[in-house]
Amino acid sequence: MNWVLHVANVLNSVLPVRETFGIRRMLANRGGIVVGKETRITHGVKFYDRYITIGNSVWIGMNTVIASTHKGRITIGDNVDIAPCCRIVSGTHDLGGSERRAGTGSGDDVIIGNGTWLGIACCILPGAQIGEGSVVAAGSVVLAGKYPPNAMLAGVPARVKRLLP
């Protein structure tokens, strides 16, 4: 992780909750993350690595972690709402031998479509592609796969429960 993102992560933990959205956007941009206009990054949000693109008018709830890797980019569309304590991760490991099951590091892109709402404490794993206008229910774990637009995803692992109007 570069030093600017490290400083951003530290400051995100001590800056006032809502009054410093512009400072948080600026720090993330300086750290190599593309952050759109009017995006609001709240208290305690942590970014790991710079392979992240965040659209316009996004809300990122407190204590969310967004962890990318050079082997897996994270793209968050416009008008996305991310509730507190979510985890969005693009890095993983290949399965190793019995002496160490977490083998060689790998990753896969994560895409969160425009207008999506991620419920509190959900987890988005490498390779997940969530269609625009979707809702991920609180506490759900979204595995790798392509999910349709306007879908209600819920459960562990998350499944399409219904299509939304």
* 70 labelled catalytic: no
pLDDT for the residue 1: 55
Residues in the chain, total? 165
Q: Could you give all domains of the chain from N- to C-terminal order, each with its CATH number?
A: 3-163 (2.160.10.10)
44-73 per-position pLDDT tens digit: 999 999 999 999 999 999 999 999 999 999
From 6, 43, 70, 93, active-site residue:
93
136-146 per-position pLDDT tens digit: 999 999 999 99
Tokens of 78: 């416009």
Is pTM beyond 0.75? Reply is: yes
**Closest by CA position to 147, among listed 155, 135, 138:** 135
Give the mean pLDDT of 95-105: 95
Confidence band for 18, pLDDT divided at 50, 70 and 90:
confident
